[in-house]
Structure 1
Amino acid sequence: MSPPVYSDLGKQARDVFGKGYHFGVLKLECKTKSDAGVEVTAGGTNSIATGNVTGNLETKYKIKEHGLTFTEKWNTDNTLATELSLEDNFTKGLKFVLNSTFVPSSGKKSAVVKTTYKKDAVSVNLDSTIDLGGPLLNGAAVAYYKNWLLGYQMAFDTAKSKLTKNNFAVGFTSQDFTLHTYANDGAEFGGSLYHKISRDLEGAVDLGWSANSNTTRFSIGCKYALDRDACVRAKVNNKSEVGLGYQQRLREGVTLTLSTLIDGKNFNQGGHKIGLALELEA
């Protein structure tokens, strides 16, 4: 099994802190699939504080025998995005992706070409913006050896002939335990720990320190499955912010998520956030 790409290092811990929380918004998401194999996702969010509403529509079509996937996205900011990906076509483990965006109101356009190659002990990816003035190159590699992971990520601005990103990561992974540490540009240091404590309980710890601002962050979170249809989540950080979430599958294809963020330092003054999400799939 090949190692994850650089951006997915520590993903299990990030999911414990990020998934299942929708603070300050009301969210609706609907998914369906046509007989022709076209996957359609539509949804929107409403900000409780401002009342602003945003919406999005995504269609995805896969031609599995050729490893081809075509995706179109539109949102209420009037941004059109397309993605064309080709996987395992020329050789096993190689994936090409072309991303493009277009804003009709301003005429602004952008495009990125992405390549990823995975083998048993290494994952390599290289991205490049399509810019005649000088593309921005992003590259990363992750090597795997006896449960240890070593990663490097860089970004190079060809227009300025300047290295703009220089990141390192070291990790350890096993069946129920993952450790991830990183150093970004010699100024941001941190790490995360994920542990599958039991069949129903997952826990994670995240910490970091910034040399520029001399600030430290610390968070601990968990997810507990009450049964096959319900789970609860909780997390707390060094700012005394407490996040709580409850997710319930009401029936096949209908999932309700409730969440709240409590400011422990100003408990009696209010300002806490709540959120609700309803996901429909057919």
Structure 2
Amino acid sequence: MAPPTYGDLGKNARDVFGKGYHFGILKLDVSTKTESGVEFSSGGYSNQDTGVVVGNLETKYKVKEYGLTFSEKWNTDNLLGTDVTIADKLLKGLSVGYSCTFSPQTGSKTGKLKTTYKHENVSATADFDLSLNAGPMVHTSAVVGYQ
């Protein structure tokens, strides 16, 4: 079994203090899946102190025979997001995805190429931030395990 990715190390400990224990915030998440395999999830929260209300909608569709996953997101800030991922088709354990966002009001766009490779003794990630304004940025990590 592959070790966890760097971002997942200590996740359970962080979740004890930060997940689901927000005072003054009302939160609702709803998900469903159709017979054809399309997943819908919607959610939102209301901050009782400031009166801020935020909502989002996400759809996800998997094409299993090609290893593809398509995901579309939209939130109340009018930010549109799309993720396309292909997993275990180019190389076993390799996942390559492209994530982009677009704000119709401001015209701002972001794009990120995400790669993850998991093998028996190593998990490695490389994310390429393809920002046109700030220039490209590369984030990498690796976790090595031995038994």
TM-score bracket relative to the smaller structure:
over 0.9
Offset of residue 14 of structure 1: 1.4
1:90 paired with 2:97, answer no
Offset of residue 134 of structure 1: 2.9
Match of 2:35 in 1: 35
Q: Which amino acid aligns with 1:122?
A: V
Cα distance in 1, alignment partners of residues 49 and 15 from structure 2: 25
Which stretches in structure 2 are left out of the alignment for 5+ residues? none
User: Normalising by the residue count of structure 1, what TM-score does the alignment of the two structures yield?
Assistant: 0.50
Secondary structure of residue in 2 paired with 1:145 = coil
When residues 88 and 134 of structure 1 are mapped into structure 2, their CA distance, relative to the original with a 3 A threshold, is same
Cα distance in 2, alignment partners of residues 103 and 78 from structure 1: 6
Secondary structure of residue in 1 paired with 2:91 = coil
Offset of residue 22 of structure 1: 2.8
Match of 2:102 in 1: 102
Larger radius of gyration: 1
Offset of residue 46 of structure 1: 1.0
Give percent identity, aligned residues only. 54
Cα distance in 2, alignment partners of residues 131 and 22 from structure 1: 33
User: Normalising by the residue count of structure 2, what TM-score does the alignment of the two structures yield?
Assistant: 0.94
Offset of residue 24 of structure 1: 1.6
Q: Which has the higher strand share?
A: 1
Match of 1:117 in 2: 117
1:23 paired with 2:10, answer no
Offset of residue 35 of structure 1: 1.7
Match of 1:218 in 2: none
Deviations 1:171-226 (A, max 9, x none): xxxxxxxxxxxxxxxxxxxxxxxxxxxxxxxxxxxxxxxxxxxxxxxxxxxxxxxx
Q: How many residues align?
A: 146
When residues 20 and 134 of structure 1 are mapped into structure 2, their CA distance, relative to the original with a 3 A threshold, is closer
Match of 1:137 in 2: 138
Offset of residue 34 of structure 1: 1.2
Offset of residue 17 of structure 1: 2.0
Deviations 1:57-95 (A, max 9, x none): 000001122211100000000100111111001111000
Cα distance in 2, alignment partners of residues 134 and 69 from structure 1: 28
What aligned pairs does 1:1-282 form with structure 2 within 5 A after superposition?
A: 1-132=1-132, 134-146=135-147
